[in-house]
Amino acid sequence: MKAYSLDLRERVLRAVDHGKPRSEIVKMLGVSLATIKRYLKQRRETGHVRPKAIPGRTSKKEAALQAGLVAQLQAHPDVSLETHCQLWESEHGMHVSTSTMSRMIERVGWTRKKSRWQPANATRRNERAFASR
C-alpha cells in the first residue's frame, strides 16, 4: 500500500491545529483516527510527517540492471525477453527472471514495439508519470 501524500498529511495536521473535531477530519479527508494519532506522534517525535522509508533490503540486481541494460537493449533490439535474460546471465554472471527483466526494461523507459525493443515515446512516458500521481 502506498503512503498518503505529504500534502494530505499536512492538511490533516493543519485541521487538527485549527481545532476541528477529529471525527470531522475523518469524514472530510478520508483518513482514520489511528492515522491522525500516528501523524501527531510522528510530528511530535521527529518534527515532520514525511513518509518513512519502505522496509526491506535494497535490490542487488536493480542497480546493475539499470547501469547496463540500455546498452544491451541497443545492441540486441530484436531478441525476446527470455533471450535478454540469457544474454544478461552470460555477460554478467547474474541470473535474472523474465518478470524482473520486464520490470527493469519498463523502468529504463523502453518498450516492445512490433518485434523490436525501443525507447518508449515521450507521450507514453508522460502519461505513466501523470497516472502514478
pLDDT, tens digit (0-9, with 9 covering 90-100), for 31-77: 999 999 999 999 999 999 999 887 888 778 888 888 888 888 888 88
Alpha-helical segments (H) within the chain = 6-17, 22-29, 33-46, 60-75, 81-92, 98-107, 122-131
- Give the mean model confidence (pLDDT) for residues 119-126: 62
Is a pLDDT exceeding 70 seen at residue 90? yes
Q: Model confidence over 92-117: pLDDT tens digits?
A: 898 989 998 988 888 888 877 655 66
Tell me if 15 sits within 8 A of 29, measured CB to CB: yes
Give the DSSP letter of residue 83.
H
Q: What confidence category does residue 129 fall into, taking pLDDT thresholds of 50, 70 and 90?
A: low
At 92, the amino acid letter reads: H
Q: Model confidence over 12-32: pLDDT tens digits?
A: 999 999 999 999 999 999 999
Q: Higher pLDDT residue, 123 or 84?
A: 84
Q: Position of cell 546498452? A: 71
Name, in order, each residue with C-beta under 8 angstroms of 11's C-beta and a sequence gap of 6 or more: 29
Residue 122: the pLDDT is: 61
Name, in order, each residue with C-beta under 8 angstroms of 98's C-beta and a sequence gap of 6 or more: 81, 82, 85
